């Protein structure tokens, strides 16, 4: 990352522009996934699913997407507080109410999106999930709100969730060890939900190549720190593109104000980034950088996905 920044300075180019020429891709900002409610390992509550995100897919620009994210986030605080929930924050800036069932959280999110004046669907503000299922998988079973579930039970539950709620993306819906379950999940839901691999892929080109061959998902989470170098990160993204897989660039729980991943999102044209809630400096820095790039380069196309 340091070498890439130095190269950009030597060329007197913005970082995203310096990174972009190596790929024949349209540089563009992408869909913003705001983590507005936390559970699992990211929060001290009884919620097993780790991340509930909102994505303003209908926003016409990065700036308007950030506005929508901030307004829904503020509306969620008011709604939770009005119902007597503690509105402390999880690791990535999302609220951490003590709600056990993920469906109950989704019901609140749909109502909150409407409270904020938006439509809860793919033309307005949609929902993305990251259950981080490896965290609640033991001895071949998943435990959600005290209930023991098989892989097929989880797949059925996700199908019901997709039927009832405007969920467009599901990350780590099954455990990293459960490759056979992932195949069945992709067969069942891959035609209508983005299925993102994180723990199972760890931005590793070799693992991604195997996952593509085995058809376990249709998208990969991209974290440069997981694989260790920018070069390997770009190789992982290349494999995904060639296979027709989507890519979502991601921050980490332990973050800094560094904005490299915002420039990487624009440079690769991958179309998706998650950087936590629209709160806390280390999270907001990435969104602010995307707004800055958009304002300085209005010629860049913006697409929700």
Write out the E strands in the chain.
Answer: 31-38, 51-55, 126-130, 137-138, 141-144, 147-149, 167-171, 194-197, 219-222, 246-250, 272-274
Cα separations (Å) of 305 from 45, 113, 247?
32, 19, 10
Nearest residue to 167 (alpha-carbon basis) of 7, 55, 286, 30: 55
CA-to-CA distance for 42 and 56, rounded, in angstroms? 23
Q: What is the mean pLDDT of residues 221-233?
A: 96
CA-to-CA distance for 207 and 214, rounded, in angstroms? 11
Active site residue 92: yes
**Cα angle value 66/91/56 (rounded, 5°):** 20
Q: Which residue has the higher pLDDT, 29 or 258?
A: 258
Q: Is residue 305 part of a domain?
A: no
Tokens of 201: 């892929």
Q: Is residue 304 part of a domain?
A: no
Taking 50 as the threshold, does the pLDDT of residue 219 lie above it? yes
Nearest residue to 174 (alpha-carbon basis) of 243, 193, 227: 193
Q: Is residue 26 part of a domain?
A: yes
Q: How confident is the model at residue 8 (pLDDT cuts 50, 70, 90)?
A: very high
**CATH of residue 246:** 3.20.20.120
The predicted pLDDT at position 305 comes to: 44
Residues 50 and 102 sit within 8 Å (Cβ to Cβ): no
Chain-wide mean pLDDT for the chain?
93
Query: What is residue 277's three-state secondary structure?
Result: coil
What pTM value is reported for the model?
0.95
Active-site choice (223, 255, 274, 294): 223
**Cα angle value 290/299/126 (rounded, 5°):** 50
**Could you read off the pLDDT of 26-60 as tens digits, one per residue?**
655 558 999 999 998 877 888 999 999 999 999 99
CA-to-CA distance for 72 and 94, rounded, in angstroms? 12
Q: Is residue 301 part of a domain?
A: no
Give residue 178's Cα distance to chain centre: 21
Q: What is the mean pLDDT of residues 2-21?
A: 92
φ and ψ at 294, to 5 degrees?
A: -60, -45
Residue 247 domain boundaries: 2-296
Consecutive H or E run containing 99? none
Q: Is residue 196 part of a domain?
A: yes
CA-to-CA distance for 52 and 128, rounded, in angstroms? 6
CA-to-CA distance for 147 and 181, rounded, in angstroms? 18
The predicted pLDDT at position 164 comes to: 98
Give residue 232's Cα distance to chain centre: 20
Active-site choice (51, 71, 92, 294): 92
Tokens of 243: 């296979």
Q: Sheet harboring 141-144: ordered strands across?
A: 137-138, 141-144, 147-149
Q: What is the mean pLDDT of residues 3-14?
A: 96
Our count of domains for the chain comes to: 1
Q: Is residue 303 part of a domain?
A: no
Q: Is residue 302 part of a domain?
A: no
């Amino acid at each position: 990352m340091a070498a890439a920044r130095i190269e950009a300075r030597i060329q007197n180019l913005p970082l995203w522009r310096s990174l972009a020429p190596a790929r024949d891709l349209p540089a563009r900002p992408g869909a913003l996934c705001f983590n507005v409610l936390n559970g699992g390992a990211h929060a001290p509550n009884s919620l097993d699913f780790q991340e509930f995100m909102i994505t303003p897919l209908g926003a016409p620009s990065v700036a308007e997407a950030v506005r929508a994210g901030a307004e829904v986030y503020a509306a969620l605080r008011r709604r939770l507080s009005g119902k007597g929930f503690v509105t402390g924050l999880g690791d990535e800036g999302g609220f951490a109410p003590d709600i056990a069932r993920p469906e109950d959280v989704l019901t609140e999110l749909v109502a909150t999106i409407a409270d904020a004046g938006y439509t809860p669907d793919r033309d307005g503000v949609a929902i993305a999930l990251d259950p981080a299922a490896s965290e609640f998988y033991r001895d071949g079973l998943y435990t959600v709100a005290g209930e023991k579930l098989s892989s097929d039970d989880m797949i059925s539950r996700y199908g019901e969730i997709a039927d009832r709620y405007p969920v467009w993306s599901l990350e780590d819906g099954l455990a990293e060890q459960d490759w056979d379950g992932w195949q069945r999940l992709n067969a069942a839901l891959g035609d209508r939900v983005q299925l993102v691999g994180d723990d199972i892929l760890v931005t590793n080109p070799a693992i991604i190549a195997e996952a593509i061959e085995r058809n376990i998902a249709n998208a990969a989470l991209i974290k440069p720190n997981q694989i260790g170098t920018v070069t390997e990160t770009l190789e992982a993204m290349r494999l995904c593109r060639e296979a027709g897989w989507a890519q979502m660039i991601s921050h980490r729980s332990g973050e800094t104000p560094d904005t490299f991943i915002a420039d990487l999102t624009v440079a690769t044209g991958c179309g998706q980034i998650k950087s936590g809630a629209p709160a806390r400096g280390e999270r907001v820095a990435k969104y602010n950088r995307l707004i800055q790039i958009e304002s300085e380069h209005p010629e860049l196309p913006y697409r929700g996905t």
